[in-house]
C-alpha cells in the first residue's frame, strides 16, 4: 500500500511540476488596419478589375498614384468588394471605375457603403444617382441598380463621379466636425 501511495504522489508531483512550467500562450488578436473603406455590394458576371480613385485635401486631381485596385471573380451571386484606402489617408472625394473590360456584361450595384472607425454611410441602389454621376460610358437604372455599358469606338472608361451631396456624408464618416 505504501508503494502505491508513493507512486501516486510521484505521479501527482510530476503532473503539478509539469503544469507549473508550461507557459500560457495568449491567443493572437488580429489587428485590423484603421482604414477608410468603400464597400461595394454588387453582382458581376465576368472576372474584372474595379478601381477606386481617392483624393484628400492635398490632392487636386484624381491620379494613378491614389488608387485602390480590386480584382473580382465573376459570379451570379451578390458579392462585396472592399476598397481600403491606405492607412493614414482620409479621402474627401472618390471616383469609382466600375469595369476595365469592354466585353463586361451588365453589373448590378446593390449598395455602396463608406466606413471608418465604426461610422458608416450606406447608399442603396435607388439613391446612387443622388450621390454619384455616371459618365458617358454608363447607363444606370436606378430602380434595378443595373449598370449597362455604352461602347464608343475604342474608348472605354466607365466610372462614377461624386456629387456634392456626398461630401457631408464623407465628412461624417471621417469623423470631422461639421
pLDDT score for 176: 77
| 43-74 confidence digits (pLDDT tens) | 999 999 999 999 988 888 999 999 999 999 99
Predicted local distance difference test score (pLDDT) of residue 106:
97
Whole-structure pTM value: 0.79
C-alpha cell at 114: 463608406
> Does residue 164 contact residue 132 with C-beta atoms inside 8 Å?
no
Nearest to 108 by CA among 131, 137, 140: 140
Beta strands 119-124; 107-116: pairing state: antiparallel
DSSP 113-172: EEEETTEEEEEEGGGHHHHEEE-TTEEEETTTTEEEE--BTTB---EEEE-GGGHHHHHH
> pLDDT value at position 2?
56
User: Model confidence over 72-120: pLDDT tens digits?
Assistant: 999 999 999 999 999 999 999 999 999 999 899 999 999 999 999 999 9
pLDDT over 90, % of the chain:
71
Predicted confidence band of residue 14 (pLDDT cuts 50, 70, 90): low
Render pLDDT for 110-154 as a digit per residue (tens, 0 to 9).
Answer: 999 999 999 999 999 999 999 999 999 999 999 999 999 998 888
Flag whether pLDDT at 1 surpasses 60: no
Cα–Cα distance for residue pair 4/20, rounded to 1 Å:
24
Distances (CA, A) of 162 to 11, 92, 135, 172: 72, 10, 11, 16
How far is Cα 52 from Cα 62, in angstroms, rounded to an integer?
10
Amino acid at each position: 500500500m505504501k508503494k502505491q501511495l508513493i507512486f501516486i504522489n510521484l505521479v501527482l508531483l510530476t503532473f503539478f511540476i509539469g503544469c507549473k512550467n508550461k507557459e500560457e500562450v495568449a491567443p493572437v488578436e488580429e489587428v485590423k488596419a484603421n482604414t477608410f473603406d468603400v464597400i461595394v455590394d454588387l453582382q458581376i458576371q465576368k472576372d474584372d478589375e474595379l478601381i477606386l480613385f481617392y483624393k484628400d485635401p492635398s490632392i487636386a486631381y484624381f491620379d494613378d498614384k491614389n488608387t485602390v485596385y480590386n480584382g473580382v471573380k465573376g459570379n451570379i451571386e451578390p458579392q462585396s468588394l472592399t476598397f481600403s484606402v491606405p492607412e493614414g489617408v482620409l479621402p474627401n472625394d472618390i471616383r469609382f471605375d466600375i469595369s476595365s473590360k469592354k466585353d463586361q456584361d451588365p453589373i448590378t450595384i446593390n449598395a455602396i457603403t463608406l466606413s471608418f472607425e465604426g461610422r458608416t454611410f450606406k447608399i442603396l441602389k435607388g439613391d446612387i444617382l443622388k450621390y454619384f454621376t455616371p459618365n458617358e460610358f454608363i447607363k444606370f437604372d436606378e430602380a434595378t441598380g443595373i449598370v449597362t455599358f455604352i461602347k464608343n469606338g475604342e474608348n472605354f472608361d466607365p466610372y462614377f463621379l461624386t456629387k456634392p451631396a456626398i461630401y457631408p456624408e464623407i465628412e461624417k464618416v471621417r469623423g470631422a466636425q461639421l
